[in-house]
């Protein structure tokens, strides 16, 4: 793998879905087939799926996959690590589609799904990282997402589309504000039988 600089515009996400059903393997494979991934480079193995390309397509594909798993009504977990600007990244394994049109947005819009998520932002190489993190948490609040502090992450409760729009903005603005390598992790639970307040 070539280790080169100057590939900071390649965004990527490594993610997994865990449907809590005996049919988990079929559900995962079917959803990966249903979503239009023609504008990203994609690789699936036994642990994760990795997509690489333009920021809009990375978020379009990952949101569509999460919405499709939600639609099954099966309780499922989704874990994703988004990254842009990794200095150890290579120029390969990507597809920087020229058109910004999001292939899955029309189909995704027809799915309404509330979700609970926890996200963590890691703005690296840009200086005052805590200021960036606090600023982006405030930005989430202004979108009408319920934001709750948590240890090592921030909890987000809201509509999937609103939360993903917020997460994409956080990712873009962190990069634009001077973070040379931005990493954002997102853990989501959908269709959980547990209520938020009383688990045990």
Ligand X SMILES: Cc1ncc(C[n+]2csc(CCO)c2C)c(N)n1
Q: How far is the CB of 11 from ligand X (least distance, A)?
A: 17
One of 4, 25, 100, 150 touching ligand X (CB under 6 A):
25
One of 7, 37, 49, 94 touching ligand X (CB under 6 A):
49
- Judged by CB under 6 A, the stretch of 24-32, 35-43, 149-157, 185-193 that binds ligand X is 24-32
Question: Up-side HSE of residue 85: CA atoms within 13 Å toward CB?
Answer: 18
Q: Which is nearer to ligand X, 18 or 118 (CB)?
A: 18
How far, in Å, CA of 181 to CA of 162, rounded? 25
The answer to whether 48 contacts ligand X (rule: CB under 6 A) is yes
Cβ-based neighbour number of residue 134 at 10 Å = 12
57 is written with which tokens? Answer: 């397509």
- Judged by CB under 6 A, the stretch of 39-47, 93-101, 119-127, 150-158 that binds ligand X is 39-47
Residue 60 CA, chain-centre distance (Å), reads: 9
10 is written with which tokens? Answer: 């390649």
């Amino acid at each position: 793998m070539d280790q080169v600089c100057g590939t900071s515009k390649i965004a990527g996400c490594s993610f997994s879905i865990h449907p809590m059903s005996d049919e988990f393997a079929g559900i995962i494979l079917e959803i990966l087939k249903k979503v239009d991934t023609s504008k990203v480079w994609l690789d699936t193995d036994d642990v994760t799926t990795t997509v690489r390309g333009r920021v809009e397509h990375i978020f379009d594909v990952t949101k569509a996959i999460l919405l499709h798993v939600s639609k099954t009504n099966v309780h499922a977990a989704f874990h994703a690590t988004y990254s842009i600007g990794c200095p150890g990244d290579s120029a390969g394994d990507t597809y920087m589609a020229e058109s910004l049109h999001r292939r899955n947005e029309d189909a995704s819009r027809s799915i309404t799904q509330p979700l609970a998520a926890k996200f963590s932002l890691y703005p690296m190489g840009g200086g005052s990282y805590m200021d960036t993190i606090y600023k982006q948490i405030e930005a989430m609040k202004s979108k009408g997402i319920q934001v709750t502090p948590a240890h090592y992450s921030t909890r987000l409760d809201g509509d999937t589309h609103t939360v993903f729009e917020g997460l994409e903005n956080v990712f873009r603005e962190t990069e634009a504000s001077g973070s040379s390598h931005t990493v954002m992790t997102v853990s989501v639970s959908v269709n959980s039988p547990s209520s938020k307040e009383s688990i045990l």
